[in-house]
Structure 1
Amino acid sequence: MKYYLLIILLITLNVSAQKTTLYCIGDSTMANKKNPDKNPEHGWCQVLQPFFNESIIVENKAVNGRSTKSFIDEKLWETVYKSLKKGDYIFIQFGHNDEKIADSLRYTNPHTAYRHNLIRFVTESREKGAIPILFSSIARRNFNEQGVLIGTHGDYPLEARLVAKELNVPFIDLEYYTELLEQSYGPEKSKKLHLHYKAGEIGFYPEGKDDDTHLSLLGATEIAKLAMEQIKLSDNPLLKNLKKGIKN
């Protein structure tokens, strides 16, 4: 009996050892939302786990309203850093709140502080043997009167791309792919990807809501699909183990 119990324990430990943790750090476009059964807002990393088999465990550490600066200053990064282990992956996507030029607690210059904070996330992840993946910020639904989608992120996506190239980090240009997504839905139907409700339409927003930045469940799911598709298409050898964990 003891022999069989030992075998079961060894099998359990072996299965556990094979699991890889995928950490996600970023802002509200990624973050888990409270009361998901009632709250129509979802972050795209909130819906990631079903895209993976049991070998990948998603730990979504993104937090609403954070920039690279506040994520570090509030020691949110320190907590993630301490948890990282060899072979883990980490999705990194910031920019929306780094852009807030009127907020000294969050704003970063894209060419200096933002860039150096991304470098810190990358280098410190690698210190622990983890594999960082950089993402550009998702596009906002920002169509002009002529139906042209106008970018809002300035030089932040460029700096994320440059850091990725400089440090040989896998890079997913989510700004580009979400621009294509918004355009495929068009100026009116793209509201479904975000939070647009009339007063009294749903209980969670009794006064209504018009939000072109944050995501509905549909929007979050579509963006998670885009991220998975780009990882599967990548030939970067650093992503090999992560790709194995994605469901077909």
Structure 2
Amino acid sequence: MITIVGVGHVFDLSDKMRKIIEDRSPDLVCLELDERRYRALLSGSRERRGLPIMYVILSRFQQRVAEWYGTKVGNEILSAIRIAREKEIPIELIDMDAETVFRNLWKSMSLGERLRLFLSGILGLLGRKSTIKREIDRMRENVDEVIEEIGKSFPSIKRVLIDERNEHMAMRLEELSKDYKNIIAFVGDGHIPGMMDYFKSRNIEVDVIRLRDLECMDLEDP
């Protein structure tokens, strides 16, 4: 069985993730990471030299938002790593290489998309806390709707940054499921609908826990 858990990279979900791992006792934990991000997360490094400007802007925006919620970017994934190591559960990184993804994205974007994205990034860095938090809360409740809106405003972003990665991660999980019977995968909640489309097309049964359900989870439940 594959269980996909939707997380938010700027929220503290450590206790909920520990409960899921302890309750389900997986024989493999999969993470929405590539090797470079995995090493950076473990070392605490924020080295950005050589990375595409879009990646840098997004990273700084996420750091800003995470601070508002009293955590650090990637803390939920770091928690999964620590829990898996503590319980001696193997870990697999299932995402595409981020640097390659962002470079391909930049090449595929029209000039209009680039300008709109740059402006959105600057506004995100300079915008008011109350306004941005309101948008973040809207995404938590209606992430699927927000993804659709992104597709209309930034079709290249949705295709390269979301759709292609959805398929890649779903294919990796399908391949890993041949060797592991009980897999838990932690991915950004916005990736779940696209990944589920892939699994449905392949008639693969998958259990899903969305971010909104994760946040409401009672830690006292058996």
Question: What is the TM-score with the length of structure 1 in the denominator?
Answer: 0.34
Larger radius of gyration: 1
User: What TM-score do the two structures reach when normalised by structure 2?
Assistant: 0.37
Specify which structure has the bigger relative contact order, considering alpha-carbon pairs within 8 angstroms and separated by 6 or more residues.
2
